[in-house]
């Protein structure tokens, strides 16, 4: 008995060594926006191996990554090895990994290794237990591979096909475990539990209603990432500085600050039940549609200073609540933005406009001093250029 086990392990060791430094004769070229795990699966299948067997034979030293988040692993040796195996440039392969977003969406915190907004798989017994892999049924039908952008919590729709992304098997509701290849008869991505092929999901797709602003803001978000910059209050900044602000607004909405016209409108359009005030759920455990509502509204709040003002005023959010946790990076643009709310009540441009008209009607000369008196706060002309403009 022990003899036969010995032979098997010897054979395995022989196989491993035989494949370890052998180049792949067949390899599909990755798509530009493909995620590395999707490419690994396609490499494995086109070489007649299951993904686990492929990793064990060709990339043994990185096998352990299958139990972690393969896509956000920062392993230069892995990229080099794949480059050797396929003859593709290292940088091209590195670009398939989620770490290619470092400096665009997040700055990796190497102490915690956490990257905000990323959906993380949870591996238990080889299976992924969290709905961390989203997909567009129509994109998958046209071209069978998984996209990098689908791994972010704010990617809730496909702007090309105008549908909500799916994050589970539509038949058995299990999250996707793409490395587990149970049905050897197919070369298509499928559910390891019920064998359903995800490329046949179109009938389960749900259209984004035409009057929703979800697609508009999804595009805008992609543009910020693509262009690596965003504009706020007519100034441009690096995209990576946008995301801490977005995160803050999203958490304010989740905490119950939901008095905002677009929130009410979108909640009805998207048919999302009220996001509870006491919710302790993280973004990751919310449904795709709930995330769509949150990010659409948050993007609208950050679309202009006027929108931000209205959101703060209508929800009576204090300066203290606006500040970002000191442990994380605070972008200057956001700090400047909330600076206006530091002392007492904030007077919006609209309020100032009405007040000027009121003072004129009463026969009082409108200026910074009379306005300050009317509102009971000190209005600083150097900081409130918007009000000074109205006084000319
Ligand atoms: Zn699509
Ligand atoms: Zn299934």
Does residue 6 lie within any of the structural domains? Answer: yes
Q: 46 vs 26, 50, 180, 188, 363, CA distance in Å?
A: 7, 10, 15, 11, 82
Going from the Cα of 172 to the center of ligand 2, the distance in angstroms, rounded, reads 4
Going from the Cα of 134 to the center of ligand 2, the distance in angstroms, rounded, reads 14
CA-wise closest residue to 309 among 260, 241, 380, 379: 260
**Which domain-ending residue is among 165, 185, 204?**
204
Based on the fold, state whether residues 162 and 59 are members of the same structural domain.
Answer: yes
Contact call for residues 214 and 220 (beta carbons, < 8 A): no
Cα 95–chain centre separation:
17
Based on the fold, state whether residues 197 and 234 are members of the same structural domain.
Answer: no
179, burial (CB in 10 Å: exposed 0-12, middle 13-18, buried 19+): buried
Based on the fold, state whether residues 229 and 151 are members of the same structural domain.
Answer: no
Going from the Cα of 137 to the center of ligand 2, the distance in angstroms, rounded, reads 15
Going from the Cα of 130 to the center of ligand 2, the distance in angstroms, rounded, reads 14
Does residue 310 lie within any of the structural domains? Answer: yes
Going from the Cα of 141 to the center of ligand 1, the distance in angstroms, rounded, reads 9
Where do we find the tokens 């958490």? Answer: 251
Based on the fold, state whether residues 87 and 153 are members of the same structural domain.
Answer: yes
Determine the pLDDT at residue 5: 39
Contact call for residues 196 and 170 (beta carbons, < 8 A): yes
Going from the Cα of 196 to the center of ligand 2, the distance in angstroms, rounded, reads 6
Q: At what angle do helices 305-314 and 288-301 cross, to 10 degrees?
A: 110
Give the ligand at the shortest distance from the Cα of 143: 1
Question: Residue 237: which H helix or E strand, with range?
Answer: strand 235-238
Give the ligand at the shortest distance from the Cα of 195: 2
C-alpha dihedral (13, 16, 21, 23), degrees to nearest 10:
150
Determine the pLDDT at residue 18: 62
**Which domain-ending residue is among 159, 182, 204?**
204
HSE toward the beta carbon, residue 179, CA cutoff 13 A: 25
Based on the fold, state whether residues 319 and 373 are members of the same structural domain.
Answer: no
Based on the fold, state whether residues 220 and 263 are members of the same structural domain.
Answer: yes
Greatest Cα pair distance in the chain: 105
Q: 152 vs 83, 117, 123, 309, 352, CA distance in Å?
A: 26, 6, 18, 28, 40
Q: Which domain holds residue 381?
A: 349-391
Does residue 209 lie within any of the structural domains? Answer: no
Going from the Cα of 33 to the center of ligand 2, the distance in angstroms, rounded, reads 26
Determine the pLDDT at residue 374: 78
Q: 88 vs 28, 55, 62, 94, 254, CA distance in Å?
A: 11, 18, 19, 11, 44
Going from the Cα of 295 to the center of ligand 1, the distance in angstroms, rounded, reads 19
User: How many distinct structural domains can be found in the chain?
Assistant: 3
Low-confidence ranges of the chain (pLDDT < 70): 1-20, 276-281, 326-328, 343-345
CA separation for the pair 37, 51 (Å, rounded): 9
Does residue 67 lie within any of the structural domains? Answer: yes
Going from the Cα of 159 to the center of ligand 1, the distance in angstroms, rounded, reads 7
Where do we find the tokens 């549908």? Answer: 163
Q: 93 vs 34, 85, 233, CA distance in Å?
A: 10, 11, 37
Based on the fold, state whether residues 186 and 331 are members of the same structural domain.
Answer: no
Going from the Cα of 200 to the center of ligand 2, the distance in angstroms, rounded, reads 12
Going from the Cα of 157 to the center of ligand 1, the distance in angstroms, rounded, reads 8
Determine the pLDDT at residue 14: 55
Give the ligand at the shortest distance from the Cα of 171: 2
Where do we find the tokens 């298509």? Answer: 188
Based on the fold, state whether residues 236 and 304 are members of the same structural domain.
Answer: yes
Based on the fold, state whether residues 329 and 267 are members of the same structural domain.
Answer: yes
Contact call for residues 333 and 241 (beta carbons, < 8 A): yes
116, burial (CB in 10 Å: exposed 0-12, middle 13-18, buried 19+): middle
Going from the Cα of 291 to the center of ligand 1, the distance in angstroms, rounded, reads 18
Concatenated DSSP letters of 314-353: HTT--HHHHS--TTS---HHHHHHHHTTSSSSPPPHHHHH
Q: Do the strands 163-164 and 157-158 form a parallel or antiparallel pair, or are they unpaired?
A: antiparallel
Does residue 129 lie within any of the structural domains? Answer: yes
**All residues at 6 or more sequence positions from 62 whose CB lies less than 8 Å from its CB, including other chains:** 55, 73, 75, 77, 78, 81
**Which domain-ending residue is among 176, 204, 232?**
204
Does residue 376 lie within any of the structural domains? Answer: yes
Question: Residue 379: which H helix or E strand, with range?
Answer: none
Based on the fold, state whether residues 93 and 175 are members of the same structural domain.
Answer: yes
Based on the fold, state whether residues 229 and 310 are members of the same structural domain.
Answer: yes
Does residue 344 lie within any of the structural domains? Answer: no
Sign of CA pseudo-dihedral 73, 74, 77, 81? positive
Based on the fold, state whether residues 324 and 245 are members of the same structural domain.
Answer: yes
């Amino acid at each position: 008995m022990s003899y036969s086990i010995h032979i098997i392990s010897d054979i395995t060791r022989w196989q491993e060594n035989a494949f370890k430094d052998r180049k792949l004769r067949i390899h599909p070229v990755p798509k530009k926006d493909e995620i590395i795990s999707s490419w690994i699966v396609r490499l494995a299948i086109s070489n007649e191996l299951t993904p686990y067997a492929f990793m064990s034979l060709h990339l043994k030293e990185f096998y352990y990554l299958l139990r972690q988040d393969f896509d956000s692993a920062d392993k230069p040796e892995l990229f080099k090895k794949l480059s050797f195996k396929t003859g593709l440039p290292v940088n091209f392969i590195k670009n398939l990994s989620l770490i290619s977003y470092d400096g665009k969406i997040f700055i990796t915190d190497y102490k915690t290794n956490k990257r905000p907004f990323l959906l993380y798989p949870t591996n238990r017994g080889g299976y992924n237990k969290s709905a961390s892999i989203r997909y567009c049924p129509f994109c998958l039908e046209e071209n069978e591979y998984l996209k990098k952008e689908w791994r972010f919590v704010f990617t809730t729709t496909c702007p090309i096909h105008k549908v909500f992304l799916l994050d589970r098997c539509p038949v058995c509701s299990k999250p996707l475990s793409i490395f587990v290849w149970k049905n050897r008869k197919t070369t298509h991505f499928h559910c390891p539990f019920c064998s359903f092929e995800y490329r046949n999901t179109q009938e389960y797709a749900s259209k984004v209603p035409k009057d929703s602003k979800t697609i508009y803001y999804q595009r805008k978000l992609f543009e910020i990432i693509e262009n690596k910059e965003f504009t706020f209050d007519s100034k441009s900044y690096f995209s990576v500085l946008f995301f801490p602000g977005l995160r803050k607004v999203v958490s304010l909405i989740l905490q119950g600050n939901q008095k905002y016209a677009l929130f009410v409108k979108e909640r009805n359009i998207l048919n999302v039940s009220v996001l509870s005030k006491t919710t302790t759920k993280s973004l990751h455990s919310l449904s795709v549609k709930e995330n769509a509502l949150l990010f659409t509204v948050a993007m609208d709040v950050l679309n202009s200073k006027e929108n931000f003002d209205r959101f703060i005023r209508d929800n009576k959010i204090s300066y203290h609540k606006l500040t970002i946790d000191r442990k994380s990076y605070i972008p200057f643009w956001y700090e400047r933005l909330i600076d206006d709310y530091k002392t007492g009540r904030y007077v919006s441009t609209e309020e100032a406009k009405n007040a000027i008209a009121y003072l004129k009607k009463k026969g009082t000369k409108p200026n910074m001093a009379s306005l300050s008196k009317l509102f009971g706060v000190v209005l600083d002309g150097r900081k409130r250029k918007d009000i000074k403009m109205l006084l000319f």
